[in-house]
Structure 1
Amino acid sequence: MNSALKELLDLLDLEQIELDIFRGRSPEERIQRVFGGQVAAQALVAAGRTVPPDRMVHSLHAYFIRPGDPAIPIVYNVERVRDGRSFTTRRVVAIQHGKAIFTMSASFHVDEPGVAHQARPMPDVPAPESLPTFQSRMLAAFGDDTLWREWAAKPRPVDFRYVSALPWEAQRDPSLVSTENNAWFRYDAELPDDPLLHVVLAAYASDFTLVDTVLLAHGMAWGATNVSGASLDHAMWFHRPFRADDWLLYAQESPWSGGARGLARGEMYTSSGQLAVSVVQECLIRVS
């Protein structure tokens, strides 16, 4: 287990400071604000700690309201909206400087039998082991830019292997521009069997590449002086159990952008081709 994954697991071990009130911290970061996937993952941990263990989260709906400050802790207030016979609903508000920076509603469900189908097969893509690491491709993309090369080279908790072009590559080569973005990911260590932990780690990873998918459709990339953006809202549906320490294919597309906003959606498949998670996000994209 690398140091970045150890730190992430530590960040997800929230401090309980009162009934239904939890506190989390952020890693030191020089380039970006608090990562949205971190806030979503920590909020889901807070919600999950107030739910009976026989119920697993099946959906979450979240809004990113204000940028997070990595220099101070984040307080998560959990509201017990409903405790029914089959479903449990929680609302979480993340607070910094006395103001909400993030809100999330999450629904948990007991395990029940039912009809099952999967309409679309997993895309036919190269195996993850045949693809270069994210770090190696980023280092090549940034050339002599010292600050970004330092950011690209640092250890990461999740191993991403891109099938599609990186936005920085498409920025240089218009032939790589695409509305589709496929990437494999996994956490490269044997993790505990706690099902909530694997869901939380998928939520963390889900926010890495969705805005990139919108940028990829336009041949734009972070770091350009005229491009800024952020996640606005985020929704996830968890369909079946999976492990985040096994490879998952994150098949994404951007069906629309306009009015300084862009929409991206994704599907996470297990390596055996089973659809495990569906994701939709709207993001802010401003071009000056």
Structure 2
Amino acid sequence: MNPDAAGGLDRTHREDASRFLAAIALEETEAEIFDRAFLVTPQHVPWPRAYGGDSVAQAAAAALATIGDDRELHSLHSSFLRPVEVGLPVRYEVELLRDGRGYSTRHVRGYQHGKPVFMTTASFQVPEDGPEYQPAAPAAPLPESLPSSAEALAGQRGSDAVDYWSSGRSFDMRHTAGPLYTGSVDAEVAGSRATGDAETDGVWVRSFAALPDDRRTHQLALAYVCDYTILEPSLRALGAHWSSPGLVTASLDHSMWFHRPARVDDWLLYAQESAGVQSGRALNLGRFYTATGELVATVMQEGMIRGV
């Protein structure tokens, strides 16, 4: 039996993109609330609630399914309303708010067990020419010089979490400042890093396997992968890591802007920084750059951080 179909972790430690592609595989169904509706199933993770990137990418896919090929997704503004149960379908209802000459707007709500769990407003634009500016990409070591997650976690395999981090996420992720999976992976994190300066992280990201030659799939891959590490600059600032005893995190709200097309089966640098932590909430900024320094997308996300 396929372990994913049974709801368990794939013990073959496969390194392909099938989990991401399954996460965005929509099935259209009859709308009950808005104009169109789709069903899609969150993918397995080794903890009770689904990965937040599932919700972001799935809602974006539902919105894209209602838009003509002449328009490009350029922004998402989202709220995580309730934890999503793994392995059970989420129903995404899409409201067609506006189709103008240059822009279109969609509102999407995800429902599970009859309750709203996620919502987003997506905006689309007919591409046009105009002046350009972007902040420069930060200096970073080449991805080939950095250990993969599997290499960083070598010798710790055996738990669902470590196996998942190593190769179960469809994407190869290589940290420029050391990963924060466990304290033994990054010993520096045990000391205080809260110096008053912006805490920054860089993660090189690339899908394990080639993705379909379709611009929308690569946009959805960006939306999917962006939630994995966006809280890490704030964790690093607090001297915490993903395995810290008592740590509880959750995504609260999320905004994303798409600037240029890019392939996510080529290396992208995800430059991230903490904009502050207070009241159990952390605000973080992320920017995706190509290997040649072109800005592809920008992310802002607020998350809950408790227990540190």
Choose the corresponding residue for 1:122, options 126, 137, 141. Answer: 137
Q: Report the AA paired with residue 253 of structure 1.
A: E
Q: Answer yes or no: is the 8 Å Cα contact 1:211–1:230 preserved in 2.
A: no
- Between the aligned partners of 1:255 and 1:185, the Cα distance in structure 2 is 22
Q: Which moved more, 1:233-242 or 1:158-167?
A: 158-167
Aligned residues: 284
Of 146, 151, 160, which aligns to 2:164? Answer: 151
Distance 1:175 1:196, change over 3 A: same
CA RMSD of aligned residues (A): 2.0
For 1:37 and 1:144, locate their aligned partners in 2 and report how far apart those are by CA, in whole Å.
Answer: 24
Q: For residue 92 of structure 2, what is the aligned residue in structure 1?
A: 76
Secondary structure of 2:50's match?
A: coil
Offset at residue 127 of structure 1 (A): 0.7
Which residue of structure 1 aligns with residue 289 of structure 2?
269
> Could you list the per-position Cα deviations for residues 157-181 of structure 1 after superposition, in whole angstroms to 9, with x for gaps in the alignment?
0111111122234874345847111
| Cross-structure match for 1:10 | 22
| Cα pair 1:213 1:253 within 8 Å, conserved | yes
CA distance in 1, matches of 2:250, 2:149: 21
1:217 maps to which of 237, 242, 257: 237
**Equivalent residue letter for 1:87:** Y
Contact 1:166 1:216 in 2 (8 A): no
Counterparts of 2:222 and 2:39, CA distance in 1: 21
* 1:69 CA drift (Å): 0.4
Residue type at the aligned position of 2:136: P
Query: Secondary structure at 1:210's aligned position in 2?
Result: coil
Offset, 1:209:
0.3
> Are 1:136 and 2:151 an aligned pair?
yes
TM-score, structure 2 as length reference: 0.86
Residue 62 (structure 2) aligns with: 46
Q: Say which structure is richer in helix.
A: 1
Q: Give the counterpart letter for 1:105 in structure 2.
A: T
- The share of aligned pairs that are identical, in percent, is 37
Q: Which moved more, 1:257-266 or 1:171-180?
A: 171-180
Pick aligned residue for 2:218 from 198, 218, 221: 198
CA distance in 2 between partners of 1:123 and 1:227 (Å): 30
CA distance in 1, matches of 2:108, 2:57: 11
Q: Which residue of 2 aligns with 1:26?
A: 42
Cα deviation 1:202-245 (Å, max 9, x = unaligned):
01010000112211111112233321110100101111111111
Provide the C-alpha distance between the structure 2 equivalents of 1:281 and 1:176, rounded to a whole number of angstroms. Answer: 23
Unaligned runs of 5+ in 2: 1-13
Distance apart, 1:27 and its partner CA? 2.4
Cα deviation per residue 1:132-167 (whole Å; 9 max; x = unaligned)?
Answer: 101221345xx4874543433443301111111222
Instruction: Output the amino acid matched with 2:164.
Output: W
Q: Distance in 1 between matches of 2:151 and 2:231?
A: 21
- Counterpart pick for 2:117 among 101, 105, 111: 101
Q: Distance in 1 between matches of 2:205 and 2:234?
A: 19
Q: What residue number does 2:6 align with?
A: none
Identify which of 77, 87, 90 aligns with 1:61.
77
**Correspondence for 1:111:** 127
Q: Which runs of 5+ in 1 are unaligned?
A: none
Give how far 1:263 is off.
Answer: 0.5
Q: Distance in 2 between matches of 1:17 and 1:241?
A: 30
Contact kept, 8 Å, 1:57 with 1:108, in 2: the verdict is yes
Take 1:186 and 1:145, find their aligned partners in 2: how far apart are those partners?
24
TM-score, scaled relative to structure 1: 0.92
User: Match for 2:276 among 256, 265, 276?
Assistant: 256
The one-letter code sitting in structure 1 at the alignment partner of 2:119 is: T
In structure 1, C-alpha distance between the alignment counterparts of 2:159 and 2:260, rounded to whole Å: 42
C-alpha distance 171-247 of structure 1, shift in aligned 2 (>3 A) = closer
**Counterpart in the other structure of 1:227:** 247
User: Displacement of 1:193 after TM fit?
Assistant: 2.4
| Counterparts of 2:302 and 2:21, CA distance in 1 | 27
Which deviates more from structure 2 when the two are superposed, residues 222-231 or residues 203-212? 222-231
The whole-number CA distance in structure 2 between the counterparts of 1:146 and 1:10 is: 23
